[in-house]
Chain A
Amino acid sequence: MATVLDPAGAPATDERRADRRGGSTPPGGRRRHVPPLLAISPFYMLFAVFGAFPVVFSMYLSVQDWDGIGDMRFVGLKQYGWLLKDSVFWHSVLNTFEIWFLSTVPMLFLALVLAFLLHSQVRFAGAYRVAYFIPNVTSMVAMTIVFGSVFAQAGLANALLRAVGLDGIGWLSSEWGIKASVSIMIIWRWVGYNALIFLAGLQAIPTEHFEAARVDGANSWQTLFRVVVPQLRPVVLFAAVTSTINGLQIFTESQVLFQSTDVGTTGGPGQEGMTIVLYLWQKAFKEHQFGYGAAMGWLLFAIIAVFTIINWRLVSGSDRDDRRPGIAGLLRRKGARDGR
């Protein structure tokens, strides 16, 4: 148990032993760290080139006007100013949030229920887990083509609606149809992933709690919401934060669903499927306005940061005797100082 609780224990004892033997750290002691650092250096080199550099460069780009080849022209914060006045950008922000809300809320709920079902003793539990996870590793482009047929005017979705006596919906040709289609695809893709995360959280809850609940006469529903959900708070927080970050970067679904190689159809009718990242891609990579695209990327970063913090507070904030440390707690304390 002790080793599990203190993972840093092993190297620490090592250090102590070295100190006892050789007194103060000799130069050779520092050299001792070189090989392990070298061993992990490929990651840092790759990260520097493909991770850190693009981040810094995009910040630089966002104050330039550049078509990708010629000379850059410094324009200061003009790109941001233009962006704030760009009605298409704000439309795409609104769309992104609508789609995010339509997809994330039902998806997390569904994932929780699925995880709860998978956690109970069912036959072929492993097969179910694999089945639910498969959408997450399927090529999105291929799946979008399939969904394109499902949501077509004469497609599967409308055929189902007609079979139960309802009218068909313009899935890809009406404002809420478009948003529903994109949301359904996101739910389909991520529900299994989040169910697995929740399942891992469920398995960490001691079985005594379930037993106690059962002894007290709680039914499954009550067990789920009174016992499981409160204990799952950190896992729910993780799922909510990652879903927000992913949800605000929706791109492939809209891009492939609406034939974006063609001018004028990007984002679908009324640009109701135009998301922030899709608009960024259109401006930067189709119209070669890299500065504008970079500025959009940074605004998106700001939006995601704000909403991650809000998420954090919403999920961890309702716990009255929350004594867990970390940023959430700090924020709460700071909020309490500033606000009330």
Chain B
Amino acid sequence: MEHRTMSRRRFLGASLGGAGAGLLTLSGCGTAEGSASAGSDHLSLWYWKGSLSDKLLATARRGVPGVPGLKVKGSQVPDGDIDSKVRTSLAARAYVPDLTVVNNDNLATFFPDEDEFLDLRDLGAESVRDRYLDWKWKACFTPTGRMIGFPLDAGPTALYYRRDLFERAGLPHEPADVAEQIPTWEEFIAAGRTLRRKAPGKPCLVSNIGNVFQQVLLQSPKQFVDADNRFIGDQEHIRRAWDLSVDILRQGLSARITDGTPDFNGAMSGGRVATMTTAVWAINGLKDTAPKTSGSWRLTTLPDGPCNYGGSYVTLTRYCREPEAAFAFLTWLLSPANQLESYQEMALFPTTPASYADPAMHKPDPFFGGQQPIDVFGPAAQKAPVVYFSPYEETANTPFFQELANVETLGKNPERAWRDAVNTAETALTRLGVS
């Protein structure tokens, strides 16, 4: 009896001690070594499913070719969580990955905390500069001139359109003709009117006007907040995007459905929407959504010219245990040859223009009637404008997308919606020190 009590007490004491020791180790880790890979034989890399080539990562796990003794282990983090996980680990100064993938829209949100990331120029980034697209390279820099991102993939845009519907409406329908005869958004809207009148089933031009607003916006080098932290969302470049979008709605050319909803899937496979204005990464989604329409889609240059929508970067955090080796890994992983492999394996569009000429990228796609997507996306990727994204872009542009949806779905007066959007954005930005 007595013996059992003792042993139980000892057990409790031991487990308590164990827990305490565990806590101590945890906190000890945070101060001494912040890297998630501390004490291991590899560097850690966080990415989300589909953002990096699985095959290349498997190779890197065994040993990075050309960098003796270096192993890199990739860990998948869900797409929607990676940003907050990176932030959490940086705030805790513990278990920070050596390298992490950052989405296009999110790189700028790290600008106020740029010191958390290594400046890749110190590691000799300039030596590989000529391999990469110029605008993408420039987008890796913070306003103070530090390079915190490395080019991963690009998101060149195109006009996806239904060749059969264009033909039935008596519109130009071969990609070259469409590009030539529908060079501007105004011509695009005019084509939409013809489609609605003459094509079978009276198809709409676009699924919703938010997509058009998004692309017109990205065609402009200026967004909602400039490099001096001033709100410029009430100016002409935004107003033009707004007016074009509202015009499409007024003329009854929008199907008024949110992308990705069951209604959207139905409209795309049923031929009720004749075009999409989006990036290269939408191809696979469209193929899944509307397999029956295979062969009738074509790609051509976006009205008013190409822009970039999406794409990612890789960053090195300041907790990176071996910066030189990590950078060598990046130049291997994202070399033109490996970007080509990633394109073939994962449809990640290369940021290395040298890859575009490779025969492997010139494969006819039956979904687009044998057209080679690279013929449109390659030149588009090279012509995309250099755009400045502020850390506060999302705060500033959210009210505009929301008010545009109000105009489209709830029939709100466009002028009132515009004023409300400007006011809401200005109020939200004041809190953040943007005027």
A39 interface hit (Cβ, 8 Å): yes
Known: A70-B112, A263-B398, A269-B405. A285 touches B84 (CB 8 A): yes
Cα–Cα, bound, A174→B408 (Å) = 11
Check B88 against A264 for contact (C-beta < 8 Å).
no
Known: A259-B258, A263-B398, A270-B412. A67 touches B113 (CB 8 A): yes
Consensus secondary structure, chain A interface: loop
Cα–Cα, bound, A68→B83 (Å) = 11
- Residue among A154, A265, A286 making CB contact with B394, cutoff 8 Å: A286
Q: Which of B37-45, B59-67, B118-126, B424-432 contacts A (4 or more CB under 8 A)?
A: B424-432
A78 and chain B: residue at smallest CB distance: B431
Cα–Cα, bound, A292→B257 (Å) = 32
Known: A85-B427, A148-B262, A286-B394. A271 touches B402 (CB 8 A): yes
B270 and chain A: residue at smallest CB distance: A154
Residues of A within 8 A of B21 (CB): none
Check A261 against B80 for contact (C-beta < 8 Å).
yes
A98 interface hit (Cβ, 8 Å): no
Check B262 against A152 for contact (C-beta < 8 Å).
yes
Cα–Cα, bound, A266→B397 (Å) = 13
Q: Which of B8-16, B159-167, B357-365 contacts A (4 or more CB under 8 A)?
A: B8-16
A88 and chain B: residue at smallest CB distance: B424
B395 interface hit (Cβ, 8 Å): yes
Check A68 against B91 for contact (C-beta < 8 Å).
yes
B412 and chain A: residue at smallest CB distance: A270
Check A264 against B210 for contact (C-beta < 8 Å).
yes
Interface size on A, residues (CB 8 A): 44
Q: How many Å from the CB of A156 to the closest CB on chain B?
A: 10
Q: How many Å from the CB of B309 to the closest CB on chain A?
A: 13
B89 and chain A: residue at smallest CB distance: A69
Cα–Cα, bound, A38→B11 (Å) = 11
Check A67 against B112 for contact (C-beta < 8 Å).
yes
Cα–Cα, bound, A242→B8 (Å) = 40
A6 interface hit (Cβ, 8 Å): no
B90 and chain A: residue at smallest CB distance: A69
Cα–Cα, bound, A174→B394 (Å) = 25
Residues of B within 8 A of A67 (CB): 109, 112-113
Residues of A within 8 A of B168 (CB): none
Check B12 against A38 for contact (C-beta < 8 Å).
yes
Known: A152-B261, A154-B263. A263 touches B19 (CB 8 A): no
Q: How many Å from the CB of A302 to the closest CB on chain B?
A: 21
B8 and chain A: residue at smallest CB distance: A35
Known: A69-B116, A153-B257, A154-B266. A39 touches B397 (CB 8 A): no
Known: A45-B19, A69-B90. A259 touches B261 (CB 8 A): yes
Cα–Cα, bound, A299→B204 (Å) = 45
Interface size on B, residues (CB 8 A): 46
B410 interface hit (Cβ, 8 Å): yes
Residues of B within 8 A of A41 (CB): 16
A155 interface hit (Cβ, 8 Å): yes
Check A263 against B397 for contact (C-beta < 8 Å).
yes
Cα–Cα, bound, A265→B257 (Å) = 11
- Residue among A264, A265, A266, A288 making CB contact with B109, cutoff 8 Å: A288
- Residue among B8, B263, B401 making CB contact with A264, cutoff 8 Å: B401
B181 interface hit (Cβ, 8 Å): no
Check A82 against B431 for contact (C-beta < 8 Å).
yes
Which of A39, A264, A265, A285 has the most B CB atoms < 10 Å from its CB? A264
Cα–Cα, bound, A82→B404 (Å) = 25
Cα–Cα, bound, A173→B406 (Å) = 9
Residues of B within 8 A of A270 (CB): 405-406, 409-410, 412
Residues of A within 8 A of B145 (CB): none
Q: How many Å from the CB of B85 to the closest CB on chain A?
A: 11
Q: Quick one: which of A271-310 are within 8 Å of B by CB?
A: 271, 285-289, 292
Q: How many Å from the CB of B379 to the closest CB on chain A?
A: 28
B260 interface hit (Cβ, 8 Å): yes
B87 interface hit (Cβ, 8 Å): yes
A120 interface hit (Cβ, 8 Å): no
Residues of A within 8 A of B400 (CB): 264
Cα–Cα, bound, A82→B408 (Å) = 29
Residues of B within 8 A of A262 (CB): 259-260
A260 and chain B: residue at smallest CB distance: B80
Residues of B within 8 A of A42 (CB): 19
B114 and chain A: residue at smallest CB distance: A70
- Give chain B's interface residues, CB within 8 Å of chain A: 8-9, 12-13, 16, 19, 80, 84, 87-88, 90-91, 109-110, 112-113, 116, 210, 256-263, 266, 394-395, 397-398, 400-402, 404-406, 408-410, 412, 424, 427-428, 431-432
Please, could you name 22 A-B residue pairs with CB atoms under 8 Å apart, sorted by A? A42-B19, A68-B84, A68-B90, A68-B91, A69-B91, A69-B110, A69-B113, A86-B428, A152-B266, A154-B262, A174-B410, A259-B258, A259-B260, A259-B261, A264-B397, A264-B398, A265-B258, A265-B405, A270-B410, A271-B402, A287-B394, A287-B398
Q: Shortest 7 CB-CB distances between A and B: which pairs?
A: A264-B401, A269-B409, A152-B262, A68-B87, A69-B113, A173-B409, A153-B263
- Give chain A's interface residues, CB within 8 Å of chain B: 35, 38-39, 41-42, 45, 67-70, 82, 85-88, 148-149, 152-155, 170, 172-175, 258-259, 261-267, 269-271, 285-289, 292
